[in-house]
Amino acid sequence: MPERYLKMILNARVYDVARETPLERAPLLSGRCGNRIWMKREDLQPVFSFKLRGAYNKIAHLDAEECERGVIAASAGNHAQGVALGASRRGVKALIVMPRTTPQIKVASVRALGARIVLHGDSYDEAYEHARKLAEDRGMVFIHPFDDPLVIAGQGTVGMEILRQFTGDLHAIFVPVGGGGLIAGVAAYVKALRPGIRVIGVEPDDAPSLYTALARKRRVALKQVGIFADGAAVRRVGKETFSMARKFVDEVILVSTDEICAAIKDIYDDTRSIVEPAGALSVAGLKKYVEAKGLRDADLVAINSGANINFDRLRHVAERAELGERREALLAVTIPERPGSFRRFCKALGQRSITEFNYRYADTSEAHVFAGVELTGGDEERLAIIERLRQEGYPVVDMTDNELAKLHVRHLVGGHAPGLENELLYRFEFPERPGALLGFLTAIGAKWNISLFHYRNHGAAYGRVLAGIQVPPADRAGFQRFLDELGYMYWNEADNPAYALFLGGG
Q: Considering only the C-alpha atoms of the chain, give the largest distance between any 2 of them, rounded to a whole number of Å.
A: 82
Predicted local distance difference test score (pLDDT) of residue 298:
98
Contact 229, 285 (CB under 8 A): no
Burial string for 365-397 (b: 16+ CB within 10 Å, else e) reads eebbbbbbbebeeeeebbeebbeebeeeebebb
Domains assigned to the chain: 2-49+149-322 (3.40.50.1100), 51-142 (3.40.50.1100), 326-401 (3.40.1020.10), 414-502 (3.40.1020.10)
Q: Which residues of the chain have pLDDT under 50?
A: 506
122: amino acid identity, one letter? D
Residues with Cβ within 8 Å of residue 63, at least 6 apart in sequence: none
Element at 404 (helix H, strand E): helix 403-407
Rounded to an integer, what distance in angstroms lies between the CA atom of residue 114 and that of residue 110?
7
Predicted local distance difference test score (pLDDT) of residue 415:
62
Catalytic residue numbers read 51, 305
